[in-house]
A and B are shown apart, each in its own frame.
Chain A
Amino acid sequence: MIDQDHDLISRCLRKEVAAEYQLYRRFAAKMYGICLRYGGDEMEAEDILQLGFVRLFQCLHQFKFEGSFDGWVHRIFVTTAINYYRKNLKFIREVDLTEAVDAEAIQEDVLSAITTRELLEIIQNLPIGYRTVFNMYVIENYRHQEIANLLGISVGTSKSQLHLAKSSIKRILESRNK
Chain B
Amino acid sequence: MEKKDLIEDKFRSSFSDFEKEPPSRVWKNVQRNLHQTGPWSRVLAFLHLSARPLGFYLAWGGVAAGVILTVFLIGTRKHGVVRGHAYAGEARLHNGIADLFCVSDNTLPWDSVAYSRSAMIDNYGHFQFSNIGSGNYLLRITPDKTTGESDKYLPSWYEHDEKSDSCKLIVIDGKDVNVEIQLIEKTKH
Residues of A within 8 A of B (CB): 15, 17, 20-21, 24, 28-30, 32-33, 36-37, 42-44, 46-47, 49-51, 53-54, 57-58, 103-104, 106, 108, 111, 114, 116, 119-120, 123, 134, 138-139, 166, 169-170
Contacts and interface: CB of A to CB of B under 8 A. Distances in A.
A63 to B, nearest CB: 17
Contacts of A46: 22-23, 26, 51
Which secondary structure characterizes the binding site on chain A? Answer: helix
Contacts of A166: 5, 7-8
B29 A30 contact: no
11 contacts: A20-B31, A24-B30, A37-B18, A43-B52, A50-B49, A51-B49, A104-B5, A104-B6, A106-B7, A138-B8, A138-B12
A21 B24 CA distance: 12
Nearest to B18: A33
Contacts, number: 97
A108 B10 CA distance: 10
B18 A111 contact: no
A100 B31 CA distance: 47
Interface string B17-45: 01111110011011101110000000000
B12 A57 contact: no
A17 B32 CA distance: 11
A175 B75 CA distance: 53
Contact of A138 (B11, B29, B49): B11
Contacts of B15: 33, 37, 116, 119-120, 139
